[in-house]
Structure 1
Amino acid sequence: MSSTVISTAQVAGQGAASQSLTPATSTWELPSVERVFSDLPEFPSLPPRGTEAIDSQEQQTMFRALQDAIEKAEWTDDSGNSFNLKELHASLEQADADARHGLRDIGALHGVRDILYKLWSANSEYLAQAAEILANGSRDPSWRAPFGQSGILKFFLNIVSSKDIVDTTLLLHSLRLVGNSCADTDENREIVVKDNYTLAIIRHFLDSELVFVAIPVLYNICMDFEPAHAQMAANRTAYILLKLLRDGAIENNDALLGFSYDLVELASEQGSMFILNSFIFEADFELDVGQGVENSPDGTILLLMELADSDTIAFAHFSSLVTCLATYLDKERFQNACVSNGMVEGVLSVLRRSYSVEIDQSSSEDIKALTQLRLKINQALSEVSASLLFSGRYPLDSALAQTLKSWVVADEDQLQICACVMLGNLARSDEVCQVMVRDLKIHEELISVLKSDARGAVLHSALGFLKNLAIAGDNRLSLGEAGIIPAVSRLWAYESVPQVQFSAASIARQVIINSTDNISRLFTPLSQDPDSPAHKRTYLSLLLSLFEKTDSTPIKTEIGRSVASICRALSPKARDGNEEAISLLDRLYSLHEGVARPIGTMITQSQWPVVRSEGWFALALMAANHLGCAAVVDCLHNAEVSELLKMALSADSSSEGEKDANKSQKTKDRDNAFVLVQELLKNEAGVLPSGYRDMLEDWTKEHARVI
């Protein structure tokens, strides 16, 4: 973005009628702009007018002297050629005017400043004419720095902030001079920010005759100048502009609306991040930039929602509003305000609006930007629904929850993701999860999503929600009956999105925990035709195939934990003579070659010591079964597993200062490893090579001496 030159022609008219949006139906209090201003600090201004008596003849003489001083204020270009203001006016009309650069004669401008102060004191009508001449001159870049250095800029800033009643024409040209002088000129912007003159400019937003010039002036001050962004945030500029836009107080002019929405975005996104440490200001005004967007009233987010949800909003403005809304909802204060005031529906409406806002379909940038905006809204909704207040304000029987339920099977992927994430955040207690499955049957809709051609992000969010639901009570059985295992099995081959593969493997583990019925479903043949090769392959076979193909340690480990879970659920029952458990264990070992290899990954991974202990225990359970011994031996063919077994058996002591938790973990691993070897030696029935058996016996003898 670049600064704008503010000319007399640009500010001569107000353009088309203002656009007014439907007022909010919420009871949320929206403080007036006047009230917001009353809470903000004062700023410098000129002394009261009319304290010095100067007759009209003398005023005219001073004005002519001022004109003469301006016109004779010479400057020199890079080639040594001299120019004055008359010549400058002529050169401005030439296409190459911006090629002329030089230094102004600052000394002559000090006299201009002194005359300006006298005209002010005399309440002279010539002051407005002088302001117009200088404002026109400020359109040329070479005048800008001298105006700041000579004090002329400060003079007109004080007029803009004056507590006196000032003629509109004088204010208009004063604002023009300020805006033009600050265009791409940081040293002048520093003058404005130092004494918080931005607030004085913002106050003129309330004047229908000046708002159309005051907004571009503030825009010029703020472009690429972060201290001004921070000051705008402290001065609650975002709320003020949004309120005026919502109330139709800013004209429906494309350029002016563009400036307004850009300023809202700058005040929102930069205010909370930037600290004014680049400048040392000795001023009465202390800018509390640390608060940033936190300074804004709660109603700011309501205004953002209402404007963004307008049927006539342009995409560029929609983009600014959504970006700002996401910024505000990143703060806990605004999240809580949104929930407490029942405004989450408004955010959902903005997300839904994103599917009807008009964009240039031929523009890849617009398409990409819209995608990013939807992600921002969804992230904000995720944060909001994670609030502790959310479940209390929006129970399962609320209209919002019903809307989300309908979105689970919507055609728009971001609506589906939103529904899964927000309802998943509601599923924080066993009671709620059971109601969702038992009464709402939401798991059936989620499983239908898994069977569809939904994109990876949708699948991932649906799997995450299902995993939450699988934790509670009898939900595992309900998920199994609804076909969760066949549904996730197709996703074990979803190589394009590893997160989907991991989640699909993870939920398989989740639903078989202590569930013989679901373990049986996992062992279901892939074909019911006895003559088909697939008849001897099961869903677990597909999971083990994923183990062999993937390079992901988390996925491999999760598959290992699934196998361990099967052993935990079936082995004790089989030991007690349960026929179903015995039959299932037989199927586990006879149909699934290499079934213990995933357990080996649990043991060799080093990130989670508890998972490693799980692995030793699972191998010990396998070794207690005659068929399982062959699987254990197959696992021990992995040299790393075999070496770790030896280390676990010899872990007889710990170093001084080692944490008690580590000592306990080592002891647990050693005991599980010892049981593993004992069971293997007892049940292996010749599957162990003699040399390997001798080695295991030696290891256990050494272990027996140290326990």
Structure 2
Amino acid sequence: MDSGDDSPEGFLDVLKERLSDPSWASKKGLEVVPKRLAEFEAEGLVDICHQALEVLGTAAGKEEIWRDAYHTAGILQYSLQKVKSGSATVNLAKQHLRIIGNSVADNDTNRSVALDALESLIDCFSTEELTTTALGAVFNLCYDYSPGESQAAKLRLDYIVASYIARERIPESGIETAGELIALTLESLSPSELVDDTSLSTFSYLLDAISPPKAVFRAGLINLPTDQILEICTPYLSNNDFRLKLPPAEAERLLNILWEIEPADPSVRRALYQALDHPVDQQDDEPSFKITLLLINGVCAISTTEAFSETYDLHSEFMREVTDKVLSLYSGGGSSLLAPSAICACTMLGNLAISDNVCKEMVLLCLHRPLIGILFTSQEPALLYVTAGLLRHLAFPRDNRMYLEDAGLIWASCHLLGNPSPAVRGEAAAILCKMVDDDYGYVRYYILEIVQDTTFDPPRQTILELMINQSLAPSGPLPSTSMRSVNVEVGRAIVAMLKSLINTPAAHTKLLRRMYQTPLVAEPLKRLARQQIFAEVRSEAIFGLGLMLLSAEGTTSFLAGEHDNVGLVDSLRELFAAESGGNETAGVQLQRDRMNALVVISGLRKHGADTMDAPLKERVETVHLELAPFMASNDPLVAN
């Protein structure tokens, strides 16, 4: 760049000509550009500088070959120095940012030169005219470049960018790039950094942009693209450890956002419910679909924390809004598919229903009525599961049960025993179990009342018969070990009923005999007594069998089943060879199980001598002789 370029205009013409021909990138001449630009700027020829910088930036954006040339000629270094010093005017700084951003794109050599200026580039975010260009330059510098991503994480670029979004300092045109910068920063954070206070503040800033705290008033509010900002939130909401650390107030903001964006289309709602019920099988990667799922999971996760129950109660403004939503669920009838946010409402209420007083208050508010309506009409397992869980909580106080039964809870629970979902069936059985806990009236009801639901086979079963048959029916595995098993809950219900009848006056003997006439009544307990996984459940089952075998009628009922009774006796025998492992609690439980096992063996020998088949009778006699030392040192009484 020598002939015809002494004048500023001549220099500019030659520069444009050279940059239009990529072959010049390998030739000498560009190294004079930084010097000439500095001279023009010193002379006040800002327009010439602007035009020259503009064509330089454009060329680097179009042809990769110029990127190496700019490094060799010192043009990249010159622009970096101008940005770092902050000496350029805003208009010129924007062009320097263009040169830097285009020069470092997919060029690790140039990135290594520019990385030292990362903080200066980030500082340009604060100048409105430079924000979008600076975002692009920083993205090109860091993206897919490990040193750049590491430095971004060290500077906590995620927090910086989110704070600018919250303060409406990033225009809509820059939101996508801002989100990509946050995403690449998150990928370089350690697991502990992902859930630290800075990450929590970053997330809060993002929510501020679309759902400002109620105490904040912002004039001239810019309508930022909610969908894009929510997409930026995806990595945070996908992290369960992060969700559990969110402060309770964020549940309020997340739910308000969910209420605004959740779909009205029944087909989309149904797909959301299916995804909630089978999260591993989720196939829909559409951003709005995914973020709706994450919002639901986020709200539910926050509401499980102790901080949530300490912050909110039924009288909180937010929870009053939630209860109003629940009460209005069926104001227009129960035929329409409920919004998936109903899951959040039921989960939050369930997590607040942790005391008898709160549960009683919920029933006084008549919250149970729309909830029971859901059990009768909904086909969505995810919603049925959380709704049944809440209603089970409401059944804990005995004072509530009359109102729950009057509203149809028992029949709704019977209806759910036929649901295809093992988790839903388990919760239904748990409700039925809770209703008979220390409550003779419902024990009698279960033994005598005929189920009117004609979908079950055989027809005209009592409630107890239905429970037994459904617990013995084939069932798929539960998605989580924390979920309730229909087999376990029905077994517990039978034990509760036996305790209620055996520990009451003789006037109830007739009802107990009627219970023993119920087909297969001992079978759920036999199954649970033989399983080895859940020790507490096994203990309850052995206790229940011991109660049955205290009488001849109970023994007859025990022997009427189809279970391998010989195998059961052998499993009880193994208790006397078991060790507690030095655990005091386990030792006490083992001793109790042994005492109840002795009751079972003694009961069979005493009341079943004439009705046991030969193999069982032989095994009982053998085990009885083996356990004679234990028999002598323990009274044959059931140990609860």
TM-score, structure 2 as length reference = 0.78
> What residue in structure 2 maps to residue 416 of structure 1?
342
SS at match of 2:301: helix
Trace 1:125-164 onto structure 2 (pairs within 5 A): 125=45, 127-139=49-61, 140-148=63-71, 151-164=74-87
Q: 1:335 and 2:246 equivalent?
A: yes
* Contact 2:525–2:541 (8 Å) recurs in 1: yes
> What residue in structure 1 maps to residue 556 of structure 2?
630
* Contact 1:269–1:324 (8 Å) recurs in 2: yes
Trace 1:129-208 onto structure 2 (pairs within 5 A): 129-139=51-61, 140-148=63-71, 151-164=74-87, 166-192=88-114, 194-195=115-116, 197-208=117-128
* Contact 2:529–2:538 (8 Å) recurs in 1: yes
> What residue in structure 1 maps to residue 307 of structure 2?
389
In the superposition, relative to structure 1, how do residues 647 and 378 fare at CA in structure 2: closer, same or farther (>3 Å)? Answer: closer
C-alpha distance in structure 1 between counterparts of 2:522 and 2:593, whole Å = 18
C-alpha distance in structure 2 between counterparts of 1:453 and 1:122, whole Å = 76
List gaps (5 residues or longer) in structure 1.
Answer: 1-58, 72-83, 91-103, 252-256, 278-287
> What residue in structure 2 maps to residue 12 of structure 1?
none
Q: 1:595 aligns with which of 514, 521, 530?
A: 521
* Contact 2:209–2:224 (8 Å) recurs in 1: no
> What residue in structure 1 maps to residue 636 of structure 2?
none
In the superposition, relative to structure 1, how do residues 235 and 188 fare at CA in structure 2: closer, same or farther (>3 Å)? Answer: same
Q: What's the offset of the Cα at 1:391?
A: 3.2
Q: What's the offset of the Cα at 1:539?
A: 2.1
Q: 2:438 aligns with which of 485, 510, 514?
A: 514
In the superposition, relative to structure 1, how do residues 414 and 88 fare at CA in structure 2: closer, same or farther (>3 Å)? Answer: same
In the superposition, relative to structure 1, how do residues 385 and 504 fare at CA in structure 2: closer, same or farther (>3 Å)? Answer: same
> What residue in structure 2 maps to residue 426 of structure 1?
352
* Contact 2:425–2:486 (8 Å) recurs in 1: no
C-alpha distance in structure 2 between counterparts of 1:292 and 1:190, whole Å = 31
In the superposition, relative to structure 1, how do residues 604 and 182 fare at CA in structure 2: closer, same or farther (>3 Å)? Answer: farther
In the superposition, relative to structure 1, how do residues 484 and 389 fare at CA in structure 2: closer, same or farther (>3 Å)? Answer: same
* Contact 1:553–1:601 (8 Å) recurs in 2: no
> What residue in structure 2 maps to residue 262 of structure 1?
176
> What residue in structure 2 maps to residue 567 of structure 1?
495
CA deviations 1:270-309 (Å, max 9, x no partner) are 53441499xxxxxxxxxx9996853846851542332899
C-alpha distance in structure 1 between counterparts of 2:533 and 2:95, whole Å = 68
Moved more, 685-694 or 132-141: 685-694
In the superposition, relative to structure 1, how do residues 273 and 250 fare at CA in structure 2: closer, same or farther (>3 Å)? Answer: closer
**Equivalences, count:** 592
Q: 1:540 and 2:464 equivalent?
A: yes
Q: What's the offset of the Cα at 1:243?
A: 6.0
C-alpha distance in structure 2 between counterparts of 1:393 and 1:454, whole Å = 33
Q: 1:274 aligns with which of 158, 166, 188?
A: 188
* Contact 1:557–1:599 (8 Å) recurs in 2: no
SS at match of 2:314: coil
C-alpha distance in structure 1 between counterparts of 2:580 and 2:414, whole Å = 48
Which of the two has greater helix per residue? 2
Trace 1:207-222 onto structure 2 (pairs within 5 A): 207-222=127-142
Q: What's the offset of the Cα at 1:381?
A: 1.4
In the superposition, relative to structure 1, how do residues 589 and 369 fare at CA in structure 2: closer, same or farther (>3 Å)? Answer: farther
Amino acid at match of 2:136: P
* Contact 2:414–2:463 (8 Å) recurs in 1: yes
SS at match of 2:449: coil
CA deviations 1:337-396 (Å, max 9, x no partner) are x52xxx6443222011113799x99xx998953332222112221233234333343221
* Contact 1:179–1:218 (8 Å) recurs in 2: yes
> What residue in structure 2 maps to residue 88 of structure 1?
22
Amino acid at match of 1:584: L
SS at match of 1:537: coil
C-alpha distance in structure 1 between counterparts of 2:190 and 2:496, whole Å = 61
* Contact 2:374–2:387 (8 Å) recurs in 1: yes
In the superposition, relative to structure 1, how do residues 306 and 665 fare at CA in structure 2: closer, same or farther (>3 Å)? Answer: closer
Q: What's the offset of the Cα at 1:492?
A: 1.3
SS at match of 1:523: helix
In the superposition, relative to structure 1, how do residues 522 and 86 fare at CA in structure 2: closer, same or farther (>3 Å)? Answer: same
> What residue in structure 1 maps to residue 325 of structure 2?
407
C-alpha distance in structure 2 between counterparts of 1:158 and 1:357, whole Å = 54
Relative contact order higher in (CA < 8 Å, ≥ 6 apart): 1
Q: What's the offset of the Cα at 1:188?
A: 3.5
C-alpha distance in structure 2 between counterparts of 1:311 and 1:171, whole Å = 26
* Contact 2:449–2:462 (8 Å) recurs in 1: yes
Q: What's the offset of the Cα at 1:647?
A: 4.4
C-alpha distance in structure 2 between counterparts of 1:545 and 1:386, whole Å = 34
> RMSD across aligned C-alpha pairs, in angstroms?
4.4
In the superposition, relative to structure 1, how do residues 572 and 681 fare at CA in structure 2: closer, same or farther (>3 Å)? Answer: farther
* Contact 2:31–2:73 (8 Å) recurs in 1: no
> What residue in structure 2 maps to residue 679 of structure 1?
603
> What residue in structure 2 maps to residue 350 of structure 1?
257
CA deviations 1:125-177 (Å, max 9, x no partner) are 4654543342132121222244346654333123222233x123321211111
C-alpha distance in structure 2 between counterparts of 1:329 and 1:304, whole Å = 23
SS at match of 1:679: helix
> What residue in structure 2 maps to residue 300 of structure 1?
205
In the superposition, relative to structure 1, how do residues 478 and 141 fare at CA in structure 2: closer, same or farther (>3 Å)? Answer: same
Q: What's the offset of the Cα at 1:477?
A: 4.6
Q: 1:111 and 2:31 equivalent?
A: yes
> What residue in structure 1 maps to residue 288 of structure 2?
370
Amino acid at match of 1:577: P
In the superposition, relative to structure 1, how do residues 324 and 290 fare at CA in structure 2: closer, same or farther (>3 Å)? Answer: closer
Percentage of matched positions with identical amino acids: 24
Q: What's the offset of the Cα at 1:457?
A: 1.4
Q: What's the offset of the Cα at 1:675?
A: 0.7
C-alpha distance in structure 2 between counterparts of 1:120 and 1:319, whole Å = 46
* Contact 1:479–1:511 (8 Å) recurs in 2: no
Moved more, 506-515 or 293-302: 293-302
* Contact 1:527–1:534 (8 Å) recurs in 2: no
C-alpha distance in structure 2 between counterparts of 1:656 and 1:308, whole Å = 55
> What residue in structure 1 maps to residue 407 of structure 2?
482
